[in-house]
Structure 1
Amino acid sequence: MAERTNLEANGWTAFWNRGGWWRAVGVAVAYLAVYQLLPLIVQPLSNGVVDPEDLFATPGSVFFGLALPVILGSIVLVVFAWSIGWFPRPLFSRQPVRGSWWMWIAPVLVVIPIVLRLIGIDYGAYSPGVIAMTFVAGAFIGLSEELLTRGIAVTLLRRCGYREWAVALLSTLIFALLHSTNLFTGQPLTTVGFTLLYTFAFGILMYLTLRATGNLIWPIILHALTDPTTFLATGGIDQASAAAENPALILAGPATFLLIAGALVLLIFIRGDAQGRAAAGEADEADDAPAPRTA
């Protein structure tokens, strides 16, 4: 009781405990700034290491060009969540609103292309160090982006009183818009547009995975496997696979479109709300009590 009183008396914690969509957007914008600016501090160390023509040429290129920004971003997010009393709980507590059986379709739709890419990747095209470092980068991509969007953003939206359909939609829009910065990297508009569509659909499935499994760790794991397998299968970031000859990679394309279509359909059926269980301190109580069943 004394600990909770101290938290409530902390103005910083109380500010975030009130929730709100604009706070969620603010955290996302701050994360983007950190993601873009912090690596500049260590840029002198990466001179001559990052290959601008082929990011996946060497382990050092992958580390400085891909892994380091998300490692730094993950550290900042964890420190922020800890500073407001949300890490590890309530972010990694049991979900305050339980998912229905049909939500298990979401992780299945995500796992299928992961498995196909794992089978189809041309591992001989990369050194073992590049492959290992790419999966390390993927682990931190999964941690940072899920902690931000399915963790912090979802909690902020729930604490403001939004029902779960709005929570799913708004948190996923934030997730998708994180990838709009690709416009400033010179990528074609059509590529960025498809990336936004894909990340929106993927975000819906990650939200449903959060509901189905009841814990943030599972979206993090699935996300951590999605990105590195995609990078190694296509040879780049946010790129389409070029004329794949491997049967598994050929099937991965339709599986990705099935993922997008399935997510848009499943979004329609999201129901429920956290019924106040996402308020400060109440997530711990949810660990000892049955969560409400919702559709």
Structure 2
Amino acid sequence: MNVKPNWQVAILVFVAYNLIVFATWYATGADYTTLSAANNIASHIVLPLLLGAIFLFVVLSFLGWWRPVMREETHGAPKWMMWVLLVIAAGFIGLNLASTNWSAITATHLLFLVAAGVLVGFNEEALTRGILIVGCRGSTNSEVFVWLFSSVLFGLMHLPNTLFGMPFAGGVAQVFFAATAGTGFYILRRASGTLLVPMAVHGLWDFATFSHGASGAPLNFSATPFQFAMYVVSIVLVVIVFRKREPART
């Protein structure tokens, strides 16, 4: 590694990434309520995320953190936890995709939706379950603090949505639910041993959400139980993980 992991560097990268995304939103006049619409998705989702992805790629290469960001080598969790979360996520993703009005989505729009899902999965996981975790682990031996640090900041990065059209109460709720979902992605990282799994789940989750909303389909209440199951089960699993003795740090 070119730079020793520490929380200060991680925070600087976190702040810089969010400045890139939200400055691009401001420059393009983004409205949170219509981000995934056909005439907005390229400039309001794909462009800021692409700029953010380039930034993260350069930063990770400069820091030399690619290996610890992408691989979980010292903090395992039982594999069954991964499969529990994958089944719940598959229920939410599958039901949303099944109820999407695909006839209302053009081929070009679909291409941008796929790009948005891939970029969200890579960017937000590389930043929060990658750089924040690696940086924080370089500054503390408390894995509980590492989990809280990464999950809370993941939630807070959604708060600026309230400046772009999301009601404040909804934004506060989104911060809480995102932090809770971040706990699930944290467990997926630990149980799978790689950041690729939470990247894939996160990307598919947002792709299904973006596509369903962009198609104009009515709210799919059948997917709601899976969404909230993800939140509740994630908290239960993280409590189970921390109640057990952690493996020695190497």
TM-score (norm 1): 0.75
Q: State the distance in 2 between where 1:269 and 1:242 align.
A: 38
Residue 254 of structure 1 corresponds to which residue in structure 2?
A: 225
Q: Does 1:24 align with 2:2?
A: no
- Structure 1 gaps of 5+ residues are 1-6, 8-12, 278-295
Find the partner of 2:132 among 153, 168, 178.
153
- Alignment check: 8 A CA contact 1:164 1:274 kept: no
Q: 1:162 to 1:122 in 2, by over 3 A?
A: farther
Find the partner of 2:107 among 112, 128, 133.
128
Residue 265 of structure 1 corresponds to which residue in structure 2?
A: 236
Find the partner of 1:85 among 49, 64, 67.
64
What's the C-alpha RMSD, in Å, of the aligned pairs?
Answer: 2.6
More helix by share: 2
Find the partner of 1:98 among 51, 66, 76.
76
Q: 1:141 to 1:274 in 2, by over 3 A?
A: farther
Q: Identity, % of aligned pairs?
A: 26
Residue 242 of structure 1 deviates from its aligned partner by 7.8
Residue 51 of structure 1 deviates from its aligned partner by 9.1
Residue 99 of structure 1 deviates from its aligned partner by 1.3
- Alignment check: 8 A CA contact 2:99 2:217 kept: no
Residue 91 of structure 1 deviates from its aligned partner by 2.0
Superposed CA offset, 1:83-129 (max 9, x none): 01112x23223432221144222333222201111111111122122
Find the partner of 1:70 among 36, 43, 49.
49
- Alignment check: 8 A CA contact 2:31 2:164 kept: no
TM-score (norm 2): 0.87
Residue 91 of structure 2 corresponds to which residue in structure 1?
A: 112
Residue 56 of structure 1 deviates from its aligned partner by 4.0
The structure with more radius of gyration: 1
Residue 165 of structure 1 deviates from its aligned partner by 2.3
Q: State the distance in 2 between where 1:52 and 1:176 align.
A: 16
- Alignment check: 8 A CA contact 1:162 1:273 kept: no
- Alignment check: 8 A CA contact 1:39 1:68 kept: no
Residue 200 of structure 1 corresponds to which residue in structure 2?
A: 179
Q: Which amino acid in 2 is paired with 1:99? A: A
